[in-house]
């Protein structure tokens, strides 16, 4: 059993603050398990819209849900995107019952669902996004003390297999990759058409392979469009849909008036490292470490862990056409925090880091790497006063105050 108590606490707190809360994320990340745990500890009534019995109970949704709310119960609705006609009913009931913790809605964060909820529940619905198993959760699961961090074996297991619980806990790496293959097939052949994107399965499989090729790189729609024989707007539509499903991350570029030519195309990452490795044909640790794009995989994996812990207000990358770049620029509570990802044993200050500090006016710069020692990096120039610190990926549970 994976310890997701930290996320459970966040869910519980958010429900006390909102009349309705949507728990959104890709299919199979554990939304239902978390919601069922909440329901077992609170006065809830649970409806699963893939269950015929639940659908029968909701044949008269206004009557059924109003009765549950009048009894002081929290209503949990799983797979809410399947019944778009429920949203106007929910709006009426939320306004009728003036208390928090009325509804917990579960669904894939598809553009269709977000549009429906935005139109019907604007100002009434809070959003909580749930990803796969994070490094902090895996650490709590496998260590009696989170301060000890993960063993290299457990760290590699999470990186190789990704954060989908059933892949992560599979009896072998090969079994995990088989599960990921079947998962992707179901998403392409069943879920995406149901959510409004009707594309031939073979075309979408090819598009996923192209995304794997672009992982960690700036996105240019022209080449995928030519390869698939479709227009650039169509390719952008495919990408936006997968971003909405929380399966792909599109990290936007940051640019401001610096008197320099800056990159204005987004970077693309497949959010789950296991799914990326399946698409690359990587099935074990040795193949992963030897893969020519292993560094890009590690960067994407570390990026997701940092964003999970830091929870920034905004996140970008930055690059100039002359070669200076910053892997991650986070804005939080008025601070500008830069992050570089280095898969080396002892990272050092680079000219690119110093340019980023000066041009972007960073309040702090952190270099995340796969080592074991945390230390400060001292620039040679006394004009650079911004603190620079190297942080092992394993230490993300004890981040500086700037991050959390």
String of DSSP letters for 135-189? HHHHHHHH-SSGGG---HHHHHHHHHH-S-HHHHTSSSHHHHHHHHHHHHHHIII
Instruction: Indicate where the chain has its CATH 3.40.50.300 domain(s).
Output: 5-129
- What does the buried/exposed string (b/e) look like for 179-208 if buried means 16 or more CB atoms within 10 Å of the residue's CB? bbeebbeebbeebbeebebebeeeebeebb
pLDDT-flagged residues of the chain (< 70): 109-119, 144-148, 397-404
**Spelled out in words, what is the top-level CATH class assigned to the domain 135-398?**
mainly alpha
* pLDDT given at position 269: 98
The distance from CA 40 to its chain's CA centroid, rounded to whole angstroms, is 26
Beta-carbon count within 10 A of 231 CB: 11
* pLDDT given at position 195: 80
Please tell me whether the overall predicted TM-score, pTM, comes out greater than 0.75 for this model.
yes
* pLDDT given at position 401: 47
Q: Mind listing the pLDDT tens digit for each residue in 329-369?
A: 999 999 999 999 999 999 999 999 999 999 999 999 999 99
**Minimal CA–CA distance to 101: which of 74, 121, 127?**
74
Rounded Cα gap, residues 392 and 374, in angstroms: 6
Q: Which fold has domain 5-129?
A: Rossmann fold (3.40.50)
Rounded Cα gap, residues 50 and 38, in angstroms: 19
* pLDDT given at position 109: 65
Instruction: Indicate where the chain has its CATH 1.10.10.10 domain(s).
Output: 135-398
């Amino acid at each position: 059993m994976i310890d997701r108590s930290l996320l459970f606490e966040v869910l519980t707190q958010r429900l006390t603050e909102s009349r309705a809360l949507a728990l959104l994320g890709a299919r199979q990340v554990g939304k239902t398990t978390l919601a069922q745990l909440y329901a077992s500890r609170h006065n809830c009534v649970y409806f699963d819209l893939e269950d015929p019995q639940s659908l029968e109970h909701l044949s008269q949704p206004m009557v059924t849900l109003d009765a549950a709310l009048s009894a002081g119960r929290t209503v949990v609705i799983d797979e809410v995107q399947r019944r778009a006609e429920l949203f106007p009913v929910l709006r009426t009931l939320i306004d009728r019952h003036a208390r928090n913790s009325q509804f917990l809605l579960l669904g894939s964060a598809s553009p269709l669902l977000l549009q429906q909820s935005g139109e019907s529940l604007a100002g009434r619905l809070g959003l909580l996004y749930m990803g796969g198993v994070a490094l902090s959760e895996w650490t709590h699961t496998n260590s009696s003390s989170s301060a000890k961090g993960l063993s290299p074996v457990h760290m590699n297991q999470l990186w190789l297999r990704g954060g989908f619980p059933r892949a992560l806990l599979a009896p072998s790496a090969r079994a995990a990759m088989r599960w990921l293959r079947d998962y992707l097939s179901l998403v392409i052949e069943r879920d995406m058409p149901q959510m409004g994107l009707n594309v031939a399965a073979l075309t979408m499989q090819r598009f996923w392979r192209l995304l794997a090729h672009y992982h960690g790189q700036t996105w240019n729609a022209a080449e995928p469009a030519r390869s698939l024989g479709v227009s650039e707007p169509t390719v952008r539509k495919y990408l936006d849909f997968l971003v909405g499903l929380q399966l792909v991350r599109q990290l936007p570029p940051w640019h401001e008036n610096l008197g320099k030519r800056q990159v204005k195309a987004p970077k693309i990452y497949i959010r789950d490292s296991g799914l990326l490795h399946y698409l690359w044909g990587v099935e074990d640790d040795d193949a992963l470490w030897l893969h020519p794009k292993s560094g890009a995989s590690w960067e994407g994996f570390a990026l997701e862990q940092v964003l999970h812990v830091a929870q920034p207000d905004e996140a970008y990358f930055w690059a100039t056409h002359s070669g200076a770049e910053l892997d991650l620029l986070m804005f939080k509570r008025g601070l500008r925090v830069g992050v570089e990802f280095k898969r080396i044993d002892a990272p050092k200050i680079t000219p690119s880091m110093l340019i980023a500090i000066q041009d972007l006016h960073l309040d702090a710069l952190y270099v995340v790497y796969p080592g074991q020692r945390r230390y400060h990096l001292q620039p040679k120039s006394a004009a650079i006063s911004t603190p620079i610190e190297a942080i092992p990926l394993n230490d993300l549970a004890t981040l500086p105050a700037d991050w959390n």
